[in-house]
Homo-oligomer: A and B are copies of this chain.
Amino acid sequence: RKSSMAKAAELAKKAVKLGQDDPRRVTHSLKVGLALSLVSLFYYLQPLYEGFGVNAMWAVMTVVLIFEFHVGATFSRGLNRLLATVLGGAIGLGAHHLASLSGKTGQPIMLSFFVFLQAAGITFMRFFPRIKAKYDYGMIILILTFALVSVSGFREDKIFEFAHKRLSTVVIGSSACLIVSIIVCPVWAGEDLHRLIVLNVEKLANFLEGFGDEYLRKLEDSDLNQDRSLFREYKSILETKSEEESLAIFSSWEPRHGRFGFRHPWKQYLKIGALIRQCAYRIEALDSYLTTKFHAPPQVQTRLEELCAEMGMEAARASKQLSSSLKTMTTPSSATPHLEKARTAAKALKSLLKTTSWNHATDLLAVVHAITVTSLLIDVIDCTDKIAVSVN
């Protein structure tokens, strides 16, 4: 068992690493603190407090519940909360009015029934994938506001005032969040999506480069493990789909910022992301062939290796061009020649396979390995080509 001191030190180290990996995490934490302190002013300043009373706590709650890492996410939650509060409040008032028509005894029964109906209906709506993706939080708030307004109204008699106070405190809380999140070091989901896609193309390039440059030549060396970390970076691409999707949704809520216009084609990023993932699946299959030695009849071994390396290198160069042109958002004209060179290498490799007299080699079987690797590589090049088309 470790001592508690050692544990605390370890925890502190982890925390420092988290902060260093992405310093925006630290800023974000400070921003949440700031927004919350701002809103809690409502409790301290006498005149404001007298206006809202206990209801000022809705503002505190709004800040805690809607402040998210990305501006788009905060915006989306804030707008969801606002609209749902208005809508829920209005329906709640309507339900309250309807129920009050049925007299003192009928009213609670009617209200219970309305609450049941509305909660069940909206909970079911949350299962629609589209609503789930964009309006899930709003749906929850809709149920909540409806239940609170229609049910509180039964007791409070000041139902309009309640609805009004709840609305204005939500507006205050949301505005505080939005202002702080946009003014103080904003974290744009759009920028993160852009960066993620560029990074993923770079990871592909890293693998291909590592493959072309190092692997085939140094295969005899046993210290491969050192270079593996670079190869293996591509694995994370396999799992970024949901991250890309939520970032794209947040981005669509964000106003114009930086190099990104108001209607930046965020959906295009999702397409490129999907193609990159396609490519990564191929690489995953290719990768499993790299654990054993590359075999071929001696007379072609060197040439095969060279061609494979060239294909890898050219594909890597093309991907690098793609990622840098994605980064700067220019047309990737310079990727095409590299892809053509890769295709030329692939053709040369095919004709090499054709002209070699395989009957001399009793170890033809061993070449199966090499052939699989090369044809997967050709696949990867095809994928890269598709990505290039999409980027345009």
Please report A residues at the B interface, Cβ cutoff 8 Å: 14-15, 18-19, 25-26, 28-30, 32-34, 36-37, 40-41, 43-44, 49, 54, 57, 60-61, 64-65, 108, 111-112, 115-121, 123-124, 127-128, 140, 143-144, 147-148, 151-152, 154-155, 238-239, 241-242, 281-282, 284-285, 288, 350, 353-354, 357-359, 362, 364-365, 368-369, 371-372, 374-376, 379
Contacts and interface: CB of A to CB of B under 8 A. Distances in A.
Contacts of A61: 144, 148
Contact of A33 (B18, B28, B123, B242): B123
B147 A40 contact: yes
Contacts of A288: 282, 379
A362 B351 CA distance: 11
19 contacts: A15-B128, A18-B128, A29-B121, A33-B117, A36-B119, A49-B155, A54-B152, A64-B143, A64-B147, A65-B140, A238-B238, A242-B242, A281-B284, A285-B376, A353-B364, A353-B365, A357-B359, A368-B375, A372-B372
A116 B36 CA distance: 7
Contact of A151 (B25, B40, B111, B362): B40
Contacts of A33: 115-120, 123
How many protomers of this protein does the assembly include? 2
A124 B23 CA distance: 11
A301 to B, nearest CB: 17
B148 A57 contact: yes
Given A33-B116, A37-B115, A285-B282, A124 B353 contact: no
A239 B143 CA distance: 31
Contact of A281 (B28, B281, B358, B362): B281
Contacts of A44: 108, 111-112, 154
Nearest to A281: B284
Contacts of A379: 285, 288
Contacts of A152: 43, 54, 57
Nearest to A61: B144
Contacts of A238: 238, 281
A366 to B, nearest CB: 10
